[in-house]
């Protein structure tokens, strides 16, 4: 999480998923056997469809759960909600001036 957040990624785009899976790949062999891989994405805008990247990279040995959050009235909800659903995660929309807790 820290490595991606330091890069100030702000868009829910396909390139973000490439970076996330690159980071996951770089930790292979260093994670314990009981570790769960989780990807969390937040967006307040349009969302590209990253399905092809996720299906190619989220292989059975990775098995990442993807949680998606959309923020505000300008956020596209269709893609983030579907991605979370297809990857055993949860989706939530937070309204403008909504509570993040």
| 22 found inside a domain | yes
Q: Detail the DSSP E strand segments found in the chain.
A: 38-43, 65-71, 91-94
| 99 found inside a domain | no
Binning the chain into helix, strand and coil, the percentages to the nearest 5 are 35, 15, 50
Report whether 56 contacts 25 (CB < 8 A).
no
Domain around 12: 2-26+35-94
How far is 8 from 2, CA to CA, in rounded Å?
A: 10
Residue 82: CATH number of its domain: 3.40.50.410
Reported as a single tens digit per residue, the pLDDT across 28-56 is: 777 666 788 999 988 888 877 888 999 99
Reported as a single tens digit per residue, the pLDDT across 7-21 is: 434 444 678 888 899
Model confidence at 73: pLDDT above 60: yes
| 56 found inside a domain | yes
Range from 35-49, 53-67, 79-93 carrying the lowest mean pLDDT: 35-49
Q: Give the tokens for residue 54.
A: 């996720």
pTM tops 0.75, yes or no: yes
| 101 found inside a domain | no
């Amino acid at each position: 999480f820290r490595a991606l957040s330091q890069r100030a990624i702000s868009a829910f785009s396909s390139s973000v998923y490439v970076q996330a899976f690159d980071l996951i790949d770089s930790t292979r062999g260093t994670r314990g056997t009981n570790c769960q891989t989780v990807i969390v994405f937040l967006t307040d805008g349009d969302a590209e469809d990253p399905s092809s990247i996720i299906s190619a990279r989220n292989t059975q040995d990775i098995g990442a759960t993807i949680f998606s959050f959309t923020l505000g009235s300008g956020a596209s909800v269709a893609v983030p909600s579907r991605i979370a659903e297809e990857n055993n995660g949860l989706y939530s929309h937070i309204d403008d001036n909504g509570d993040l807790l």
